[in-house]
Amino acid sequence: MVAHVTARPTSVAATLGGTGPGSVSAYSGASAVLAGLASEAGFTPLEFLDAALSGCLVLSVRIAARKHGWGERLRRVDVVVTHEKAPDEPSRVAAFNSAFDIDGDFTEDERATLIADAHEICTVGNTFERGAVIRDVPFEAAPQKIAAV
């Protein structure tokens, strides 16, 4: 059996005016409202962090279940992620808490295996744990095909 891998563009752009909410748009066409203030509708940047981790972890549980041959037994997985801000400067998230609810015919040991494997697989979690370099590049060098919301 030959696996077919489809690449998805990974560029994302955010835009924000002088007042009100902004937007985040992905090269793939996905978009979301960016809340400029906590009282505005839309996602805050910290909610995007939590969403990125929870989304990555649910997908990673499914990947892990398939890897072990348990894919047919997985009915649903929910992951709730919350963060704790650091009390000191610079402003940052100090910790993420993830709570898993895995619905399917699994033993507790199998659930623990799925969770451990998900943490090993999840690119977002691995990035948060190990860090990444943030580089500024000229705006002209960035992909320009992203349309604002």
Mean pLDDT by 10 residues, the chain (149 residues): 67 86 87 88 94 98 98 98 97 97 98 98 97 90 60
Whether 5 is covered by a domain: the verdict is no
pLDDT score at 28: 82
Tell me if 21 is assigned to some domain: no
For residue 60, the model assigns a pLDDT of 98
Range of the domain at 93: 44-137
Whether 13 is in a domain gets the answer no
pLDDT confidence of residue 146: 54
CATH of the domain at 115: 3.30.300.20
The structural domain count of the chain equals 1
115 lies in a domain?
Answer: yes
Cβ-contact 139, 146 below 8 angstroms? no
Does residue 93 lie in a domain region?
yes
pLDDT at 40: 85
Q: pLDDT value at position 39?
A: 86
Q: Is residue 53 part of a domain?
A: yes
Does residue 15 belong to any structural domain of this protein? no
**Tell me, what's the pLDDT at 9?**
65
**117-140 pLDDT per residue, tens:** 999 999 999 999 999 999 998 888
Residue 66 lies in a domain: yes
Residues with Cβ within 8 Å of 25's Cβ and at least 6 positions away in sequence, in order, are 12, 13, 14, 15, 31, 146, 147, 148, 149
Pairing of strands 31-34, 22-26: antiparallel
Q: What's residue 149's pLDDT?
A: 44
